Amino acid sequence: MQNLYWIIAIVVAGLILLYFLSSHFLHEAKLKRQIKTPDQAKYLSALGGADNILSHELVGSRIVLSLKDYSKINRPLLQEAGVTGFIEKSDKLTLVVKTSPDLVYRTLFPN
């Protein structure tokens, strides 16, 4: 009789674990569906074109760029594309991208 209680307890624990795992994976799948593919043309246009970008690097949630001409930057268009912040130093422009920065980086610079 005591073995039956253990079997029931293990089955119930397994069902609870299965419920939590399935809800976690369903939530992750929903989040992935909500992430839009970045618009490469919009980003490049807002940065003054592909020829304006001298170098690029992904650092966490930031994309660090060196540009030929910083006056060509269209900040409102970058914000519309998904950039949440800017850090401008003498020779670098850092774009803060909170939603999928790696996806944005891979879209902009596929090589």
| pLDDT digit string, tens, across residues 54-94 | 999 999 889 999 999 999 999 999 998 889 999 988 789 99
The residue extents of the domains of the chain are: 1-34, 40-108
Separation CA 38–CA 111 (nearest Å):
16
CA 34 to chain centre: 11
Quick one: pLDDT at residue 63? 95
DSSP state of 90: S
Q: Which fold has domain 40-108?
A: Gyrase A; domain 2 (3.30.1360)
| pTM greater than the 0.75 cutoff | no
HSE-CB at 47 with a 13 A cutoff on CA atoms is 28
Contact 74, 49 (CB under 8 A): no
Mean pLDDT for all residues in the chain? 87
Is the pLDDT confidence value at 37 over 90?
no
Q: Is 65 helix (H, G, I), strand (E, B) or coil?
A: strand
Q: Given pLDDT bands bounded at 50, 70 and 90, which one contains residue 100? A: confident
